[in-house]
Structure 1
Amino acid sequence: MTGNIDIGLRERKKRETRAALSRATIRLCLERGLSNVTVEEIAEAANVSVRTFRNYFSNKAEAVAAGHLERALRIADELRARPVDEPLWDSIVNAVQAQLAPGEGDGGGDGGGSPPDRRRHDALRLLLAEPALQGEVLKADVAARDELAKAIAERTGTDVAHDVYPKLVAAVVGAGSAVAVEHCLSADRPTPLGPLLREVFDRLTAGLPVP
């Protein structure tokens, strides 16, 4: 029993270190651009050694893409923590919004949160367009879908190895979230992500009726 606890603590510590390195990489790359940031600067910002960075990532692009996988892990954790009697798609929407748009409402009140920072959006769009990053993002996306499918399988009592349902739902959730984020990044004016996520999933759960 103690051994399992120790393993769990080590894995959690590794995940925290990995997430901290990814956040530091993303922050610096948004400020300066991917090619203008060094591994040494990232390690310093995360308060670890360069060797530690190399233990987790082979390059900066991989560290940036790891943020996508970490968000998927948190969404899966959030989904597992939702009330068991809550409808599945309500739980999914709440879990996604809690991680992608924390603090943003569904469009009521002040419009669902403060408008995003245009400069940050522009910097993020440029970063995601980096050729070196695109392949890493695709790999992270596959891993993210797998992790979400496991949580959906647990929630629905299905088998991720044999049933298509959890994988299908995970793929739809990933695609819907990506469309919402891309729409926000390409909008003519800053657009809060939270209300758009709600709209996307409302349309999906309604069966995508023709407007």
Structure 2
Amino acid sequence: MAPAEEPGLRERKKRETRVALSQAAIRLCVLHGWPNVTVDRIAAEANVSVRTFRNYFSGKAEAIAASHVERMHRVADELLARPAGEPLWDALLHAVLSQFAPPEGAAPQEERWREGVRLMLAEPALAGEIVKANAAAQQELVAAVARRTGTDPERDVYPKLVAAVVAAGSATAVEHGLRAPEPVPLGAVLTEVFDRLAAGLPVP
């Protein structure tokens, strides 16, 4: 009889499956268009059964939105791993860059991919799931900011405010990058956004 998997290993495998399904859904919808992608196709792309897909997500919109929650979960983990003496907004910038910006030397996104992402994000069926994903993602960051600053997430507004600002700033940078007339490095836009936030958003 095979030994039972440890709870931590099971949770890691579940998380990896969620990520694989979410990334497959995004990739297929961006490349082939929202109407042309089915749950069956997403499951096949991730090399799992449709039943496995249904164990994790109710549909492709929820699967796509899950990537945002996962990414902000990693931002929160990265924030807690930054040096203790580092200023909060510097630590936040590094944490966000580590998950949002492509690796140095990576090829720039093709216009086809940018347009595919724009069309996907404009899909009405995705809007509600994105709202729910944003709420879940912010909770991850609230807890990390509270630990980082020694504040109480139940009593203090500060960690909630910081998490909301980080989420809005990151979303604004991504949106700006997708809609800019010419491709712009997301890392540069994120750095500008967080520099302005750290400075208190002075009028240009």
- Cα distance in 2 for partners of 1:165, 1:57 equals 33
Q: Cα distance, 1:113 vs. partner?
A: 6.3
CA contact (8 A) 1:114 1:192 kept: no
Question: Residue deviations 1:110-138, cap 9 Å, x none?
Answer: xx865432111110000000000011001
In structure 2, the partner of 1:101 is: 101
Shift of 1:76: 0.8
Give the deviation of 1:94 after TM superposition: 0.3
Is this contact kept in 2: 1:34–1:60, CA < 8 A? no
The 3 A distance-change label for structure 1 pair 114 and 31 is: closer
Q: Among the aligned pairs, what percent are the same residue? A: 65
Q: Return structure 1 stretches of 4+ with deviation > 6 angstroms.
A: none
Which residue, out of 189, 192, 198, partners 1:205? Answer: 198
Partner of 1:71: 71
Tell me the distance in 2 between the aligned counterparts of 1:92 and 1:57.
Answer: 30
Does 2:52 align with 1:49? no
- In 2, distance between residues paired with 1:114 and 1:57? 32
RMSD: 1.4
- The correspondence of residues 104-183 of structure 1 with structure 2, limited to 5 A, is 104=104, 114-183=107-176
Q: Cα gap change, 1:30/1:89 in structure 2, threshold over 3 Å: closer, same or farther?
A: same
TM-score, length basis structure 1: 0.91
Q: Name the structure 2 match of 1:19.
A: 19
CA–CA separation in structure 2 for the residues paired with 1:7 and 1:159: 29
Q: Which amino acid aligns with 1:99?
A: Q
Unpaired runs of at least 5, structure 1: 105-111
Correspondence for 1:89: 89
Partner residue in 1 for 2:185: 192
Secondary structure, in 3 states, of the residue corresponding to 2:128?
Answer: helix
Q: CA deviation at 1:69?
A: 0.6
